[in-house]
Structure 1
Amino acid sequence: MNAPASAGERLPFIDLLKAVGSQLIVLHHLAFYGPMSDWTHQLAPGLVAWFSQDARMAVQVFLVVAGFLAARSLAPDGGLRTRSPGKQLWQRYVRVALPYIAALFVAMLCTELARQWMAQHDSLPAPPGVWQFVMHALLLHTLLDVDSLSAGVWYVAIDFQLYALLLGLLWLVRRAARRDAKAPGPGVQALVALGVVASLFHFNREAGWDSWALYFFGAYGLGALTYWSTRHGAAWQTGRWVMAALVAMTLVALVIDFRERIALALGVALLLACAQRQGWLFTWPRSRAVAYLGRISYSVFLLNFPVALVVNALFTRYGNADPVTQTVGVLLAWLACNLAGALFHHAVEQRLSRVGRRRTRPPALSAH
């Protein structure tokens, strides 16, 4: 097995998951939000229906990967590495939120541009208010049930909640370990496992909790526990028992209440376990295209809806009202989302990410 990647080294298999996941989210938004996809549905009803309804489950890939990377960054050996959790959380906010806030400005501009060509459509967000924007910038919009400024931005707030929750659990275990003079590792895994159990058996089964981290912590915690159980240097005999217990626990939760999203999260966790233990997490695939799509995935995620909205409006106003023309519009929108994401990544995301890195060591990898 190969040695683990250093903190600044990219993980090719993670890039693959992020690249595929981000493209599925783009295609989901293109299929779910018309009007171009309404015409495309006439040519390929099954495919459009799958992208519209099922491709959104790619979010589970991001959740598991985010938990895996957060564990690798915050506590690679099972104990919280940073001495200042509050500062660590602020750095996380700066790194995630600054590109996101910039993308919100782009989204608002794109919405107003689309409104000029497509005055009435369900996919057009209402004109934004100051309070609405502030709540989005503070990542409180999901908790306060504020109307979304752009599709998919709920995930950014949930990701930050999950990171804060894991960081808090790690801090609590460290404090308890210092008081009792014990190693933090097993306590961390036990506490995170309890959070996973609570999520899978209760919170994730109640739709009213879907604005809170606990609803998603089952998938996120699976990712974190997978990292600790299969990391380089971990006792493989113990790690196998932990992974077996995770699989058994998740299967029981699925027997009680089958949820495709949780089954997918378990599958991603098992893939990551194999990839890390066998070493191909660090070596496969060797593709520059995949690596690049993985790098720009966060920017593509942030910008795909507003860009697609403009293309939809443009083809609604000036394109022929027939399935072929509108399907060409869908394909052009897919390309435009990726091009805009790449431009935003280089011009905005990379520059803003340095703000949180000037005085401290950067996190291992973005969770997106």
Structure 2
Amino acid sequence: MTAAASPPADLRALTGIRGIAAWFVLLYHVRLSAARWLPETVTALLARGYLAVDLFFMLSGFVLWLNYAERLRRGGPGEYPRFIARRIARIWPLHAAMLGVAIAFALLLLALGKPVRESWETLPLHILLIHNWGFTDQLSWNDPSWSISGEFAAYLLFPLLAAAVDWRRFPPWALLLLVTALAGALHHAMTLGGATGLNHDIPHLGIFRALIEFAIGTLLCALWLHWRAGKRSALSIAAALLLLGLVLSRPPETLVAPLLLAALLLAIAISAEWRFNPLAGRAIHYLGLISYSTYLVHFLLFRFFKIAFVDESGAVSPALLALYLLLTLAASIVLFHGLERPAQRALCNIFDRRARRPASVAIAAE
């Protein structure tokens, strides 16, 4: 492939790393139940699993900039509703389904006379996907959906960013400075909120993580496009980001982690078109395709799993953990093929018909 060739719309390695990240989040949520028999080093590693969400935000910014930035600029304001409609079709149906499961479970608990931790007053915010815009004080219903709320905010602002600026016009060194500045801005926002880690006070600070890291992802895409165009300085930029992260490998995490994740994502993108890339393999790629289902189903499923199979100690044996992982994989496959993808196609077709445009048969995988 020549340097001048058009970039692919889908980098399989990015889809693959999204699948790995989703399972990293899952293991973060179950680690304490398995802490009795997991090695301390493994438990300590899994305790950082929340950082996979920060990688999700950057991945989303990268993929959307690659696929939609130029399209939005060419289409003008008329393209904005179509873009938002497709984003809603991508994230809302499965979110609504999982929210429905959580509501049914809460109603069952009420019928049995048991306490319910969920806040009914916040339910409309969850339905509208704005529940993690600083309006609430705690996570509830399906806890991982907080990041989907942040993603939705980024989607609403993305067309404005694409219309306002074209990162391709910036030299690599300027893009690097902007990445560093945004990481510094996130660190400042988290510090003002009293945070020492990126998972601190998610209901109030999570929105800053989502928006700033999404923007970093768009910059990383521009750096990658420079690299593909023959400006190999992007390689040295990735190394510089990694070195900066290593130099600052002691606290604060709120500054180090975004820079390290940015370096990781850029390195994965640069190597994405290499032959025999393990992240692009069929199995890993498939985990990436179903990762949204994995991400939204695993938390509620583990809650139900503990009620059915785990005693009051909360400890999960290796055999029970294996069973839960298999159930999560099976549920992810069923939800992806039976709900997530069909609902996305159906909504896109409805939106296309209302816009009097031909229905698109291609569904974006991001």
State TM-score, norm by structure 2: 0.76
Task: Assess if the C-alpha contact under 8 Å between 1:110 and 1:306 holds in 2.
Answer: no
Amino acid at match of 1:265: L
Residue of structure 1 in register with 2:103 after alignment? 108
Match of 2:82 among 73, 81, 87: 87
Residue of structure 2 in register with 1:200 after alignment? 183
Q: Distance in 2 between matches of 1:282 and 1:365?
A: 24
Q: Distance in 2 between matches of 1:250 and 1:141?
A: 37
Alpha-carbon shift at residue 195 of structure 1 (Å):
6.4
Amino acid at match of 1:272: I
Answering whether residue 261 of structure 2 is matched by residue 262 of structure 1, we say: no
Answering whether residue 364 of structure 2 is matched by residue 365 of structure 1, we say: yes
Q: Structure 1 residues 151 and 243, CA, compared in 2 at 3 Å: closer, same or farther?
A: farther
Residue of structure 2 in register with 1:158 after alignment? 150
RMSD: 3.9
Alpha-carbon shift at residue 245 of structure 1 (Å):
8.9
Amino acid at match of 1:339: A
Alpha-carbon shift at residue 139 of structure 1 (Å):
1.6
Answering whether residue 53 of structure 2 is matched by residue 59 of structure 1, we say: yes
Match of 2:132 among 142, 151, 157: 142
Using the TM superposition, name which of 350-359 and 148-157 deviates more. Answer: 350-359
Amino acid at match of 2:68: L
Amino acid at match of 1:288: R
Task: Assess if the C-alpha contact under 8 Å between 1:19 and 1:293 holds in 2.
Answer: yes
Alpha-carbon shift at residue 274 of structure 1 (Å):
2.0
Alpha-carbon shift at residue 210 of structure 1 (Å):
1.7
Show CA shifts across 1:129-172 (max 9, x none): 2x422201212111211542112111101112223333211122
Residue of structure 2 in register with 1:251 after alignment? 244
Match of 1:211 among 206, 219, 236: 206
**Identical amino acids, percent of aligned pairs:** 20
Q: Distance in 1 between matches of 2:85 and 2:224?
A: 29
Alpha-carbon shift at residue 6 of structure 1 (Å):
5.0
Q: Distance in 1 between matches of 2:30 and 2:110?
A: 17
Amino acid at match of 1:186: R
Q: Distance in 2 between matches of 1:264 and 1:364?
A: 31
| Structure 1 alignment gaps of length 5 or more | 175-183
Q: Structure 1 residues 329 and 170, CA, compared in 2 at 3 Å: closer, same or farther?
A: same
Alpha-carbon shift at residue 28 of structure 1 (Å):
1.0
Q: Structure 1 residues 90 and 224, CA, compared in 2 at 3 Å: closer, same or farther?
A: same
Amino acid at match of 1:203: L
Question: Any idea what SS the aligned residue of 1:212 has?
Answer: helix
Answering whether residue 159 of structure 2 is matched by residue 167 of structure 1, we say: yes
Task: Assess if the C-alpha contact under 8 Å between 1:80 and 1:170 holds in 2.
Answer: yes
Answering whether residue 12 of structure 2 is matched by residue 12 of structure 1, we say: yes
Show CA shifts across 1:171-208 (max 9, x none): 2238xxxxxxxxx8426999987864553222333233
Residue of structure 2 in register with 1:26 after alignment? 26
Q: Structure 1 residues 282 and 71, CA, compared in 2 at 3 Å: closer, same or farther?
A: farther
Show CA shifts across 1:292-312 (max 9, x none): 211110001010011111111
Amino acid at match of 1:85: Y
Report 1:280-291 matches (<5 A).
280=274, 284-285=278-279, 287-291=281-285
Amino acid at match of 2:161: L
Report 1:280-359 matches (<5 A).
280=274, 284-285=278-279, 287-316=281-310, 326-358=317-349, 359=352
Using the TM superposition, name which of 332-341 and 101-110 deviates more. Answer: 101-110
Using the TM superposition, name which of 244-253 and 103-112 deviates more. Answer: 244-253
Q: Structure 1 residues 230 and 322, CA, compared in 2 at 3 Å: closer, same or farther?
A: closer
Match of 2:122 among 129, 132, 155: 132
Alpha-carbon shift at residue 13 of structure 1 (Å):
0.8
Task: Assess if the C-alpha contact under 8 Å between 1:41 and 1:49 holds in 2.
Answer: yes
Q: Structure 1 residues 334 and 197, CA, compared in 2 at 3 Å: closer, same or farther?
A: same
Higher relative CO (CA 8 A, sep ≥ 6), structure 1 or 2?
Answer: 1
Question: Any idea what SS the aligned residue of 1:163 has?
Answer: helix
Question: Any idea what SS the aligned residue of 1:210 has?
Answer: helix
Task: Assess if the C-alpha contact under 8 Å between 1:200 and 1:253 holds in 2.
Answer: no
Residue of structure 2 in register with 1:235 after alignment? 229
Q: Distance in 2 between matches of 1:199 and 1:18?
A: 22
Alpha-carbon shift at residue 105 of structure 1 (Å):
1.0
Q: Distance in 1 between matches of 2:238 and 2:318?
A: 47
Residue of structure 2 in register with 1:179 after alignment? none
Q: Distance in 1 between matches of 2:49 and 2:245?
A: 25
Report 1:178-197 matches (<5 A).
185-186=168-169, 196-197=179-180
Q: Structure 1 residues 160 and 73, CA, compared in 2 at 3 Å: closer, same or farther?
A: same
Q: Structure 1 residues 171 and 261, CA, compared in 2 at 3 Å: closer, same or farther?
A: same
Residue of structure 2 in register with 1:69 after alignment? 63
Aligned pairs, how many? Answer: 337
